[in-house]
Structure 1
Amino acid sequence: MPEASIITPVFNSSKFLEETIASVLNQTFTDWEWMITDDKSTDNSVEIIQKINDSRIQLILSDKNGGAGHARNLSLKQASGRFITFLDADDFWEPNFLEEMISFMKKDNTELAYSNYARCDENLNPVIDDFKADKPVTFDNLLKTCRLSLLSSMYDSQRVGKEYFPEGSKREDHVMWLNLLKKIPVGKPLPKTMAKYRMHQSSISRKKSNIVKDQYLVYKDYMNFSTVKSLYYTANWALNGFKKYSKLFN
């Protein structure tokens, strides 16, 4: 079994896919498998992946366009590595990402860890300050703001099992992390910047007003909170989200 499994959903990602692939192939830590699920792309994403001659990469073809959560779940089902981590098809890792994260998790005996990441434009130029991994993450504080980004986080499936994504939610990553943190006491921060997140102009994550209802449903439907409690956490999440990206609006 490989030490690490990388999970990537792909949908019409040809514009940045080759750069993302290069960032994985350039990792200093080499004992990994990469489970890439194509979510019925209509561009040449599949052809780009098929050109790679590396036995560690497994391409999975979804039989429907089910969204990123569905594609990640298909990859997770076939993943066999101990350490699970995620990389979207337009994001980027520095060469030391896997080595530093796995070393940190083993040294600190932690089930979950996350690092800083750079917040960049489409050309990977910094837009605002790096997001800082500066505090431990618990279930309680993750309710108010999602500090865990898929591209800079990792968990130990040998100790906590695999955690799948709810396929009916547009906030599937937040629900997944909350469910994971029901099992473990804390996720630990590694304050090093080893990943780059592309902040597209049309990114749904930047349009907070469009997803307030979806965030409310994280608490109401998936955490089974009362209406009042769900509204309370939605308000906290919205306020913290504005603070997180406030420099974009100055």
Structure 2
Amino acid sequence: MPRNDGLVSIITPAYRAASVIGETIQSVLDQSYADWEMLIAEDCGPDHTRDVVRDWAARDPRIKLIEMERNGGPAAARNAALERAQGRWLAFLDSDDLWLPGKLERQLDFHRRNQGTVLTFTGYRRISADGSRTGHYIGVPRRIGYKGLLGNTIITTSTVLVDRDRSGPFRMKKTYYDDFACWLELLKRGGAALGLDEDLMRYRVLEKSVSRDKGNSAKQVWLAYRNIEQLGPLASAWYFSNYAARAWLKYRQF
């Protein structure tokens, strides 16, 4: 399938997102950059997320609903959207997060000015579940490579933009942190991810989200080192200690 060089394909998995997905979609509609398609893969949730997305899609053809046949988790939903993506650029946006209006325009310009990088990411702030509280700014470094990312939590999924001309084909692995594993895979192929240190995204903190279970999250990061990255116990311990310390520094205050 030929790619549209200016088109940004937005990859959004959705599960039990009926109460928040409309606000997420509106944040895309509010973008100053208008050449995008939003591929929302609804993962057989028990609520009416599909109806909500279908209603938005009827109003704007750039919004496209993908109806999963069975629940497969975030990786399967993201892969379904990736298979249908027509743009050169892949942006990732989770169903409960929000973009500020200039996000795509600012990041696409930044990425194009840095030809040769496969992945860029931005700064952001957290918000409470109801959006009434906004946290401190979480900035990003100018550059991070594969080894640096192993011991870091700095790339947040809803800030990521990938150039498919540089990445080549890729899929999300069916693992607990499919996004983290994917960024590592892309960086392992060579090069570095570049950070745009600007406040361009809002990460919604939900009490029942996967990442709120800190004990299980820590276990899954360790398993990613050992089983996916095939690191030895000493290397895994080194990177895990750095990962945990940076996560604590990032989230020690709201």
Return the TM-score normalized by structure 1: 0.93
Alignment match, 1:204: 210
Identity across aligned pairs (percent)? 30
Report deviation, 1:148.
0.8
Does structure 2 conserve the Cα–Cα contact (< 8 Å) formed by 1:112 and 1:188? yes
Preserved CA contact (<8 Å) 1:90 1:198: yes
Structure-to-structure mapping, 1:1-250, within 5 angstroms: 1=4, 3-52=7-56, 53-109=59-115, 110-167=117-174, 169-248=175-254
SS in 1 for 2:252: helix
Asked if 1 retains the 8 angstrom alpha-carbon contact of 2:118 and 2:186, the reply is no
Q: Which amino acid aligns with 2:143?
A: P
Structure 2 distance, partners of 1:203, 1:57, is: 25
8 A contact 2:121–2:194 mirrored in 1: yes
Measured against aligned partners, the alpha-carbon deviations of 1:39-82 in whole angstroms (never above 9, x if no partner) come to 00221110111112222122111111111111001101111211
Give secondary structure in 2 for the equivalent of 1:122.
Answer: coil
Cα distance in structure 2, aligned partners of 1:204 and 1:61: 22
Distance 2:34 2:70 in 1: 32
Q: CA deviation at 1:125?
A: 4.0
Alignment partners' CA distance in 1, 2:30 and 2:7: 17
Offset at residue 208 of structure 1 (A): 2.2
Q: What per-residue deviation string (whole Å, max 9, x for no partner) do you get for residues 148-198 of structure 1?
A: 11111111011212432111x111111111001012311111111111001
Q: Distance in 1 between matches of 2:137 and 2:62?
A: 31
Q: Compute the displacement of 1:206 (Å).
A: 3.4
The 2-side partners of 1:227 and 1:111 are apart by: 30
Provide the rounded CA distance (Å) in 2 between the counterparts of 1:175 and 1:42.
28
How far is 1:127 from its partner?
Answer: 4.5
Between stretches 201-210 and 19-28, larger displacement belongs to 201-210
Helix, strand or coil for the counterpart of 1:142? helix
C-alpha deviation, 1:199, in angstroms: 1.2
Q: Tell me if structure 2 keeps the 8 A contact 1:137–1:147.
A: no
* Unaligned residue ranges in structure 2 (runs of 5+): none
Aligned partner letter, 2:130:
N
Paired AA for residue 87 in structure 1 = L
Structure 1 residue runs of 5 or longer lacking an equivalent are none
Give yes or no for contact 1:76–1:162 (8 Å, CA) kept in 2: no
**Take 1:107 and 1:130, find their aligned partners in 2: how far apart are those partners?**
24
Q: Deviations over 1:64-107 (max 9, x none)?
A: 11111110011011112111111111110111111111111111
Aligned residues: 247
Structure 1: distance between partners of 2:109 and 2:132: 28
